[in-house]
Structure 1
Amino acid sequence: MRFAVSPANETVMSMWALADPVRYAVHLPWIDRARLTLRRPEVADRVRPLVELTRPRRWLPDFLTPAARPDLEMAEQLDQIAATPPDVVVQDLLATTPRRPLSPFGRALLADPRGLLPQLVDAVRVWYDEAIAPDWPRMRALLAADVAYRAAQLAEGGAGRLFEQLHPSLRWLGDRVVSDDPFERDFDLRGRGLALNPSVFTDRRVLWNLLEDSLPAGAYPVRAVGTLWERAPVPPGDPLARVVGAGRAALLHLLDAATTTTDLARLTGMSAGNVSQHLSALHAAGLVVRSREGRHVRYRNTEVGMALLRAARGA
């Protein structure tokens, strides 16, 4: 088993939230912005192929959500989708039809996979750039935190503990995973391993690949998705920000309790690299202290840092 974060999966599956905001109400802050983006004619026209293939209650073709590997970037996944052989495109599209008939673009892609696949890849790329990339550091931080948590479960308790807690629909029967969902599939991994991807936009069950010939993969709901769109509680006009900078002030306001770099990145929207740089500066100044708990390093304010916060909050 291997865990990985898949920007392509999140880009494709985000369309479900856009089409059904009531079901995906936890993502309303993102949905409101994404809908405005999709109303722009230059975006709507290029993204149309993706919209058609991801309408609600449709199965996704396996090639559009490829099994991710650790540290795989969006550009690499787009290249992977673009390199899908035409016969695999056809096979994967036909596998989706028992659920719903193909959309107009789906039928056109079925008839001319070599000619129209670049148009679909462009649609995924545009939607990622316009709607996902601005929030990707926040999403990645949440997904990466889940990967670290699951990897620790696997290391400490084995596959049984992992699958018992991964999702209520899953059971581990010694040499197989049983998924209690309405779609009957029985796959032999054939030594290929199993890719498990936490997903922001997968909400109710684990989603598996449709065809046994595809690389085995499952997308499961990420932990703590309700915290994804929380913002750092920095008061407007915060005087501390004028002294240490907005980024470092935001971190100090969050470090009343011990917190990891990953969680701080998710809460602030900063990249993990920027958070680490700010924490290093705060640590060197004696404003935060760090401690290791198992696989994680947590930061919290020192008494000096708390004194600064008290003075700023009382100003």
Structure 2
Amino acid sequence: MGEIRFGVDDLAQLRFAVSPLWESVAALRASADPGGHALHLPWIKTALTVGRERTDLLPHLPELEALAPPPRCPLAEIEEELATGLPGHREALLDWWAAGVRPYWPRIRAVLEADLAYRTRQLSEDGIQEVFAHLHPSLRWAEDRLTGPGLPARGLALGGGGITLAPSAFTARCVLLPGRKGVPPCLVYPVRAVGTLWERRAEPGDGLARLLGRSRAGLLGRTSTPTTTTGLAHQTGLSVGAVSQHLAVLRDAGLVTSHRYRREVYYRASELGRALLGPARPS
């Protein structure tokens, strides 16, 4: 059991980020332990077929996890992150990212960014205490410190630089990435709603298509995980304007909900919308 100690300045320097580099490392760990990551089996079956870059990296997993740099900005690209760390494994990690993670990144990132939207709203409405109280069952917030397994046993005083919080789809526990070269430490935590990551619903039936129209029914079927109008346009071939109009109708009917994160709005099927689509099944 360890702890992180916060000062007044640290509470004002809480940041959120998505780290494609950490997700690549954590995904590598999941691919090496299918039994411990049964939730990701639909993806692991594909990842196990990835070539030499994966097997070359597996012996270095402890080093990769220990030396992965904390993210410098909220939505960095993996190339930017690799420029600051893990120089001996840069090419192999890029190859693994390209083959095993990037094809699924829009789907993964949507779940991660939906979590960030939830946490930032929670922070603004309820304060940092509520954020940490619901980040992970193993963590405890009391007065000016966060305690939990995996945190520094001797305690870590942030010293005014704050901390970054990064959700992870492939991590089942909290992991602290130490700060370095002016970049604050990062606490990686398991993302919310990870169970929806690999869900895929059957194509809407003729009845739902007749009720809503085939385009709207198809869009509804693609919102089981949070996604944007641009993402839906790419998936369906519809224009962004047409997607926006259809989503407005679905939202007014209570079939999808929306939330804003930074400059984008994410849409997700509501409980009523999911009920109309029927049960989800693994991809």
TM class by shorter chain equals 0.7 to 0.9
Q: 1:189 to 1:18 in 2, by over 3 A?
A: same
Instruction: Name the larger-Rg structure.
Output: 1
Change (3 A) 1:178 1:250: same
Aligned to 1:271: 231
**Residue 157 (structure 1) aligns with:** 126
Distance 1:121 1:24, change over 3 A: same
5+ residue gaps, structure 1, are 83-116, 302-308, 310-315
Partner amino acid for 2:38? Answer: A
Distance 1:211 1:264 in 2: 32
8 Å CA contact retained: 2:141, 2:147: yes
1:13 corresponds to 2:20: no
Aligned to 1:218, the other structure's residue is in SS state: strand
Q: Report the Cα offset of residue 72 of structure 1.
A: 1.2
In the other structure, the counterpart of 1:79 is: 83
SS at match of 1:23: helix
Whether contact under 8 Å (1:142, 1:263) holds in the other structure is yes
Q: How do 1:138-217 residues align onto structure 2 when only pairs under 5 Å count?
A: 138-181=107-150, 184-203=153-172, 205-209=173-177, 215-217=184-186
Matched, 1:25 2:24: no
1:217: how far off?
A: 1.0
SS in 1 for 2:167: strand
**Paired amino acid for 2:245:** A
Q: Distance in 2 between matches of 1:32 and 1:238?
A: 34
Of 158-167 and 176-185, more deviation after overlay is shown by 176-185
- Report if aligned partners of 1:195, 1:218 keep a CA contact under 8 Å in 2: yes
Q: 1:300 to 1:125 in 2, by over 3 A?
A: closer
TM-score, normalised to structure 2, is 0.72
Instruction: Decide whether the 8 Å contact of 2:70 with 2:178 is kept in 1.
Output: no
Which structure features the higher share of helix residues? 1
Work out the CA distance in 2 between the residues paired with 1:226 and 1:3.
22
**CA distance, structure 2, for counterparts of residue 294 and residue 254 of structure 1:** 16
Deviation at residue 2 of structure 1 after TM alignment: 0.6
Number of equivalenced pairs: 246
Identical-pair percentage: 35
Higher relative contact order (CA 8 A, sep 6+): 2
- Which residue pairs with 1:93 in the alignment? none
Deviation at 1:152, TM superposition (A): 0.8
Name stretches of at least 5 consecutive residues in structure 2 with no aligned partner.
1-13, 271-276, 278-283
Contact 2:204–2:221 (Cα < 8 Å) also in 1: no
Question: Shift of the alpha carbon at 1:187?
Answer: 0.8
Mapped pair 1:288 → 2:257: no
* Deviations 1:205-251 (CA, angstroms, capped at 9, x unpaired): 2111357887311100001111100113215999969x966xx6531
Q: Report the 3-state secondary structure (helix = DSSP H, G, I; strand = E; otherwise coil) of the residue aligned with 1:22.
A: helix
User: 1:48 and 1:168, CA in 2 relative to 1: closer, same or farther beyond 3 A?
Assistant: same
Residue matched to 1:51: 58
Corresponding residue number in structure 2 for 1:111:
none
- Number of the residue aligned with 2:16: 3
Change (3 A) 1:182 1:146: closer
Report what 1:61 is aligned to: 66
- Output the CA distance in 1 between the equivalents of 2:259 and 2:31: 38
- 8 Å contact 2:204–2:218 — kept in the other structure? no
| RMSD after superposition | 3.7
Alignment CA distance shift 1:123-1:239 (3 Å): same
Q: Are residues 1:222 and 2:191 paired?
A: yes
Distance of 2:75 and 2:23 partners within structure 1: 15
